[in-house]
Amino acid sequence: MLSSIMGEPFTNKHTRLWMDRKVYERLLDAGQTARPKEFAALLGGTGAHITASFSPSQLATDRTSFHWDGPTLLSALREIGQSQLQWLGVFHTHPLTAPLPSSADHAGWHYPALSYWILSLAGREPELRAYQLTEGVFQPRSFMLVD
């Protein structure tokens, strides 16, 4: 199942990611509602364009981490496939810290082909960043929010 829905948003190192503004606004709202805990969701779309998010209600979170158990992750992946989309990445919030990958982020991410998004809610204004894990290092990636 995973190979049939796994996207490849980074066809080359210069590929720019696109996220629908409506998706971002829903994720921002959900992240603010979940504060002070983290919020996380899978991202779906086609190519390098994120058009949907999939957030299970049974996700384990606390102030500094989130965890997908097997059945929860598989359920969200099935939802992506049933929507005729590809899995393009993961989004999560850092309610108390900057949008930089933490040690928990490094330990828990095993999909270098996919995007890894962090939204910091620690400052006055939310700050969104996208990354790709390349040879064990999270590299910042460019993106645009589109209407």
Structural domain that includes position 36: 2-60+75-146
pTM of the full structure: 0.92
Give the tokens for residue 113: 């082909």
Across 4-23, average pLDDT: 89
123 part of a folded domain: yes
Distances in whole angstroms, Cα of residue 128 to Cα of each of 25, 26, 122: 11, 13, 11
Question: Residue 33 has what pLDDT?
Answer: 93
Q: What is the pLDDT of residues 51-60, one digit of tens each?
A: 999 987 666 6
CB 80 within 8 A of CB 86: yes
| Residue 80 φ/ψ, nearest 5 degrees | -60, -45
Q: What is the pLDDT of residues 29-72, one digit of tens each?
A: 999 999 999 999 999 999 999 999 998 766 667 777 777 888 88
68 part of a folded domain: no
For residue 25, what is the domain's CATH number?
Answer: 3.40.140.10
Q: 20 pairs with which residues across the strands?
A: 146
40 part of a folded domain: yes
65 part of a folded domain: no
113 part of a folded domain: yes
> What is the tally of structural domains in the chain?
1
Give the tokens for residue 4: 């049939």
Helical ranges in the chain per DSSP H: 2-5, 21-34, 70-82, 103-108
